[in-house]
């Protein structure tokens, strides 16, 4: 009893509550981590079938086709969106893919399937620490980015970017039959563009980051929700991953952003959050 009182006194002096001190990190009840074999990719459909994904429904978490880098970008929050924000030197972090299955009973799924509950993300971080022996630290470092800004001197927006009085953010994953489903909120994600309905500019920024191979940050000053219709030419050169194809694709996106939206992507440098991998190991098979 006296020993407990001493510990309590020390924790109080340090400004730490007893509940915080003794509470363990959120942990999956059961978790399985396995290397996921990859078949040769032949065509767009095969590539899409091997795209990484993460779901949490009915107390069950599943990630598949997931590299460690992809897991880190999701586990540590929305401020990490691009590979350039992860400092790690082992080539297997980008190459090896894993399937993770775990249970977390009693945790409610998010109303949006695109959003993972924060408690589940904390469990994923803990899994990476225990199964992959991960140790990281976070810093701010100057990195090349694209700043999304208004392109016209008078600030006018393009015909493809219109302010909306509605908000479809919470219905992004709803399907016909779901109580939250709204037909008027349906957007379209295409190879050659995007259509968004009543979404914040941040949704557009995330889309552009995935298209121009660099982190995009919002400096438009636009608030509220918007209807977005952006289209651009896709590469006509051979080899979708060739340097020429990537350059042509990026040029098409830049042109579409300026012509359709009245915005532009400016190359610049900004201090951004960076996750530094200090130690990591391949997980043991189970």
pLDDT tens digits along 201-230: 999 999 999 889 899 999 999 999 999 999
- Would the pLDDT of 264 be above 70? yes
pLDDT for 239 equals: 53
pTM of the full structure: 0.78
CB 75 within 8 Å of CB 134 = no
Contacts of 200 (CB under 8 A, 6+ apart): 169, 224, 225, 226
Q: What are phi and psi of 177, to 5 degrees?
A: 105, -25
d(CA 17, CA 139) in angstroms, rounded, equals 27
Which pLDDT band holds residue 177 (cuts at 50, 70, 90)?
A: confident
* Percent of the chain with pLDDT strictly greater than 70: 82
The model's pLDDT over 47-69, given as tens digits with 9 standing for 90+, comes to: 556 789 999 999 999 999 999 99
Domain boundaries, the chain: 2-132, 142-271
What is the separation of C-alpha 266 from the centre of its chain, rounded to a whole number of angstroms? Answer: 22
Assigned token pair, 70: 């992809």
Average pLDDT for residues 251-280, to the nearest whole number? 96
The continuous run of DSSP H or E covering 150 comes out as strand 135-150
Spatial neighbors of 222 by CB under 8 A, at least 6 apart, are 201
Report yes or no: 47 and 41 within 8 Å, Cβ to Cβ.
yes
At 155-176, the pLDDT tens digits run 999 999 999 999 988 777 667 7
Strand partners, 140: 273
DSSP character at residue 53: E
The two structure tokens encoding residue 81: 């969106």
| pLDDT tens per residue across span 179-206 | 777 888 888 888 889 999 999 999 999 9
39: burial class by Cβ within 10 Å (0-12, 13-18, 19+)? exposed
């Amino acid at each position: 009893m006296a020993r407990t009182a001493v510990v309590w006194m020390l924790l109080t002096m340090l400004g730490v509550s007893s509940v915080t001190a003794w509470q363990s990190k959120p942990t999956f009840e059961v978790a399985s981590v396995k290397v996921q074999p990859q078949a040769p990719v032949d065509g767009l459909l095969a590539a899409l079938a091997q795209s990484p994904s993460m779901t949490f429904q009915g107390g069950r978490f599943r990630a598949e086709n997931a590299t460690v880098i992809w897991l880190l970008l999701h586990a540590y929050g929305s401020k990490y969106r691009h590979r350039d924000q992860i400092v790690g030197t082992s080539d297997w972090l980008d190459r090896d893919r894993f399937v993770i299955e775990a249970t977390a009973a009693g945790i409610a799924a998010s109303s949006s399937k695109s959003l993972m509950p924060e408690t589940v993300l904390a469990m994923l971080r803990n899994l990476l620490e225990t199964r992959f022996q991960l140790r990281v630290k976070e810093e701010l470092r100057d990195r090349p980015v694209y700043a999304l800004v208004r392109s016209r001197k008078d600030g006018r927006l393009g015909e493809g970017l219109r302010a909306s009085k509605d908000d479809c953010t919470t219905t992004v994953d709803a399907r016909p039959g779901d109580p939250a489903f709204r037909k008027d909120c349906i957007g379209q994600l295409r190879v050659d563009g995007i259509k968004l309905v009543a979404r914040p500019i941040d949704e557009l920024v995330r889309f552009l980051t995935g298209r121009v191979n660099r982190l995009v940050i919002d400096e438009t000053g636009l608030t509220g929700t918007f209807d977005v219709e952006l289209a651009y030419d896709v590469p006509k050169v051979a080899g979708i991953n060739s340097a020429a194809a990537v350059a042509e694709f990026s040029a098409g996106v830049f042109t579409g952003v300026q012509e359709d939206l009245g915005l532009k992507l400016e190359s610049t440098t900004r201090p951004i959050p960076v996750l530094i991998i200090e130690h990591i190991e391949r997980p043991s098979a189970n």
